[in-house]
């Protein structure tokens, strides 16, 4: 039995990945990444950095990308639940400006594989969430870019109260005003 199910999404290169859980009365075990299994599925990435964040309900992080040092990301939730989104910013892509979203949670164990050339963000829908991701490029703060969260037609889930965004995320341009596209 394979350790992962690689589900294609409506956008080329973005996958929802479901790991196989091996459980008994003690709990469960799962692999969250295996270079050979991912390579066999056509996802040949060399991850160089792992990141983790903790956020409360209503926190929306994103939509972020790096311009000159784009990152592919393998994202998952360690506790809680988030609505995770990838927006295609690849020049010439038939799905440019389109988005894919998936509920990721500690209960469903799903992961989202986001290739280079996408803006990425997530909204915390549970009381609290711990979010982890692997990147195939290092973070370069001077290279940051972003898209305003409400300008790509994303159908964000409703959460109690106001959305909580950083000052930086409130200043991103709208998708239609973005003068940047990935030349991949």
Structural domain tally of the chain?
1
12 falls within a domain: no
> Among the ranges 25-29, 72-76, 179-183, which has the highest mean pLDDT value?
72-76
27 falls within a domain: no
DSSP-derived letter for residue 48 is -
**63 prior amide bond cis, ω within 30:** yes
As a whole number of angstroms, the distance between CA 138 and CA 44 comes to: 17
- The set of residues, in sequence order, having a beta carbon less than 8 Å from that of 40 and lying 6+ positions away, is none
Tokens 């394979």 belong to: 2
15 falls within a domain: no
114 falls within a domain: yes
62 falls within a domain: yes
Would the pLDDT of 2 be above 90? Answer: no
Which of 15, 33, 64, 120 is an active site residue?
64
Would the pLDDT of 47 be above 70? Answer: yes
Q: What is the rounded radius of gyration, in angstroms, for the C-alpha atoms of the chain?
A: 16
The enclosing domain of 122 has a CATH number of 2.60.120.10
16 falls within a domain: no
Which of 45, 133, 149, 172 is an active site residue?
133
184 falls within a domain: no
Give how far Cα 45 sits from Cα of 35, 112, 153, Å: 8, 14, 29
Nearest to 87 by CA among 63, 68, 103: 63
Tokens standing for residue 10: 């409506």
> What pTM, to 2 d.p., does this model score?
0.95
Range of the domain at 158: 44-177
Q: Is 172 one of the catalytic residues? A: no
| Mean pLDDT over each residue of the chain, to the nearest integer | 96
Q: Is 133 one of the catalytic residues? A: yes
4 falls within a domain: no
Q: What percent of the chain has pLDDT over 70?
A: 99
pLDDT at residue 180, as a whole number? 87
């Amino acid at each position: 039995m394979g350790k992962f199910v690689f589900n294609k999404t409506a956008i080329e290169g973005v996958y929802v990945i479901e790991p196989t859980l091996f459980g008994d009365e003690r709990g469960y075990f799962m692999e969250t990444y295996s270079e050979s299994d991912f390579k066999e599925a056509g996802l040949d990435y060399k991850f160089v950095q792992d990141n983790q964040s903790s956020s409360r309900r209503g926190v929306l992080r994103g939509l972020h990308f790096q311009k000159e040092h784009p990152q592919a990301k393998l994202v998952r939730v360690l506790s809680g639940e988030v609505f995770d989104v990838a927006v295609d910013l690849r020049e010439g892509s038939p799905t440019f400006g389109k988005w894919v979203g998936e509920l990721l949670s500690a209960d469903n164990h799903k992961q989202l594989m986001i290739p280079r050339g996408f803006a990425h963000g997530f909204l915390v829908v549970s009381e609290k969430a711990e979010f982890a991701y692997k990147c195939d490029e290092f973070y370069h703060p001077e290279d940051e870019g972003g898209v305003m969260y409400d300008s790509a037609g994303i159908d964000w889930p409703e959460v109690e109260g106001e959305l909580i965004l950083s000052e930086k995320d409130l200043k991103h341009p709208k998708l239609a005003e973005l003068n940047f596209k990935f030349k991949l």
